[in-house]
Amino acid sequence: FAVSLNPASAAEPIPEIVERNGRYTLMVDNAPYLILAAQTNNSANYPAALPDVWPVVEKMQANTLVIPVAWEQVEPEEGEFDFSFVDTLIEQAREKQVRLVLLWFATWKNNAPHYAPSWVKLDNQRFPRVKTEDGETLNSLSPHYRSTLEADKRAFVQLMRHLKEVDEERTVITVQVQNEVGTYGSARDYSEKAEKIFRQPVPEKLLTDVNKEAGSWRKVFGEDADEFFHAWHIGRYVDEITAAGKAEYPLPMYVNVALRNPFNPGEPGQYSSGGATDNVIHIWKSAAPHIDMISPDIYFRDHKTATRVMELYAREDNPLYIAEIGNDQPYVRYIFDAMGHGALGFAPFGMDDTKYSNYPLGAERMDEKVIEPFAELYRVFGPMGSEWADISLNHRTWGFSEPVDTYKADGELWNAKGSDGEEKPEKDPEDYTQRQNLGDWTAEVTYGRPAFWIDPPQGNNPASGGAVIAELGEDEYLVVGHRARVSFSPSEELDGEKYLFERVEEGHFEDGEWVFERVWNGDQTDWGLNFIEQPHVLKVKLATYKTN
């Protein structure tokens, strides 16, 4: 009859990723959790920066803050640990009722050991760097030294032990291990030590996992041997640190990836070699079984490349989580594709008011114009985050975003290439039309057309539309859309049948239940479901009817 407040049982369950038939969700406090995050700029990991962080998190309506914790700040002197920043951060996050994803910046922060303490990054004897084929020393630590691994691991273990002690509330829900690992400027380490290891046979485990016959790296993997070797060894290194951290406190852990362009990859070393780029995901899966997800950092602005990346990283053996995405307007709509792939979350990068901008990756300047487009969608997905995460664990989902990029109006950017061809003299409505077979029904999504009547789609300017559809049951779908028209017609199975919307409800979710607000009918449904300025959540029931 009375609720017991026994502190021993007050701890919430530890967050975990659960899988069902190749679909995933993150469980936080026993409920599915959708990460709608803001990620800070890099150097926001000090108490003095936090006052510039929270206002943006709040304006953006983010439920999660993604922020670094640096090795250099927690172990400035070897063996002496200081978690005061982590404590301050957790305390403030609780006040703001925001969850945290911590980024462990250590051996690798984009190739370099810049975030390692001085006693590490200045001691090349004890913590050797990668050597190129020409014997040049790069500013990227080699994965082949126990000394480096043990030092990083010890600090990470302390961090996880500390979190376990101070965070029974589970304010921290996930940890990223390292940041965009890999090496620029060489496919792998060619030092004497590395050469020795390279000449040994490929490890059994890898052979079994990728189904290859025994042999040397060169013999088994040919041209790819150098890169695969580096990926394997970085993967093993990160996995050992991850496993040790999880042994203290088993939060979900992931790595993020400095992507290679899937259509025009270039050579390893031109992109971050050894990181889990799309060509080595299988090597990483074998090398790092304690890593729960391999997560892309999307800085390709164009639709074709951004959506291709999601296809490559949303796998049955890998939940999609958008670890970073540029914060400029063109990227916003890709949240719909992420949701369609059942993503665990979405974390636009550079969302703070420290007056920094990583343009041309993200927006030129941080202001309300950058925040509001994300906030607009977070306001819709936020209140239904748990319900959506549950739906997407259990049901098929499809995401759509406006396919024709409009950035060219502002001149071309180096990271905006990859779209097909030149601009056409006349707009082809087909370019602004996406069709998806959902089973009995086919969905059609079009962009930039008047809400009333049949005028062909012309695209929005700027491209900003999107929609996500979840199959709730037979002939029943949940649709969230923005600046798009969504229509349904019978697929082959129902071909030729007369059909209509039996009922379209606008509503929202509360405590897991659908709350009906009103029926959409007449102009609101006669030409399809027209999502205009404001995103809406609709529950759609389709039906066929017989005429005799």
The residues that touch ligand N0T, with contacts defined as CB under 6 A, are 42, 110, 179-180, 256, 258, 297, 299-300, 324, 349, 358, 361, 415
- Cβ 265 to ligand N0T shortest distance, Å: 12
CB of 39 to ligand N0T, least distance (A): 8
Closest CA to 250 of 167, 313, 307, 324: 167
Question: Hey, is 187 helix, strand or coil?
Answer: coil
CB closer to ligand N0T out of 180 and 353: 180
What is the bridge-based pairing of β-strands 293-298 and 322-325?
A: parallel
* 333 neighbors 403 (Cβ within 8 angstroms): no
Report d(CA 540, CA 293) in Å as an integer: 33
- Which region, left, alpha or beta, applies to residue 455 given φ > 0 means left and ψ of -120 to 50 means alpha? beta
Residues 6+ apart with CB under 8 A from 289: 239
- Min. distance of Cβ 468 from ligand N0T in angstroms? 25
Using the minimum distance from each CB to ligand N0T, give the nearer residue, 110 or 186. Answer: 110
Alpha-carbon span 507 to 524, nearest angstrom: 15
Q: Is the dihedral of CA 169, 173, 176, 177 positive or negative?
A: positive
Instruction: State in angstroms the smallest separation of the CB of 405 from ligand N0T.
Output: 14
Q: Find the shortest distance in angstroms from Cβ 139 to ligand N0T.
A: 15
Minimum distance, C-beta of residue 287 to ligand N0T, in the bound complex (Å): 20
Q: Which is nearer to ligand N0T, 188 or 301 (CB)?
A: 301
Peptide bond into 203 cis (omega under 30): no
State how far the alpha carbon of 194 is from the alpha carbons of 73, 132, 190, in Å. 30, 11, 6
Q: How many angstroms separate the CA atoms of 115 and 111, rounded? A: 11
Q: In this structure, how many other beta carbons lie within 10 angstroms of the beta carbon of residue 518?
A: 10
Angle in degrees, CA 98, 64, 351, rounded to 5: 110
Residue closer to ligand N0T, measured from CB, 43 or 437: 43
> In the bound complex, what is the minimum distance in angstroms from residue 256's beta carbon to ligand N0T?
6
Closer residue to ligand N0T (CB): 107 or 392: 107
86 vs 325 by CB, closer to ligand N0T:
325
Q: Residue 281 or residue 298: which is nearer to ligand N0T going by CB?
A: 298
- Tokens of residue 52, six digits: 């510039």
CB atoms within 10 A of CB 242: 25
Please state the closest distance from residue 277 (CB atom) to ligand N0T, in A. 12
Longest dimension (CA), the chain: 86
Q: Say which residues have a Cβ less than 8 Å from residue 181's Cβ, sequence separation at least 6.
A: 107, 108, 234, 238, 255, 272, 274, 275, 276
Least CB distance to ligand N0T at residue 438 (A)? 32
Q: Judged by CB, which is closer to ligand N0T: 156, or 477? A: 156
When the beta carbons of 74 and 103 are compared against ligand N0T, the nearer one is 103
Q: Do residues 182 and 274 lie in contact, with contact meaning Cβ atoms separated by under 8 Å? A: yes
Which of residues 64 and 524 has its CB atom nearest to ligand N0T in the complex? 64
| Side-chain-facing half-sphere of 184: CA atoms under 13 Å | 13
Q: Measured from the CB atom, is 42 or 446 closer to ligand N0T? A: 42
Rounded to the nearest whole angstrom, what is the least distance from the CB of residue 358 to ligand N0T in the complex? 4
Minimum CB distance to ligand N0T, residue 10 (Å): 35
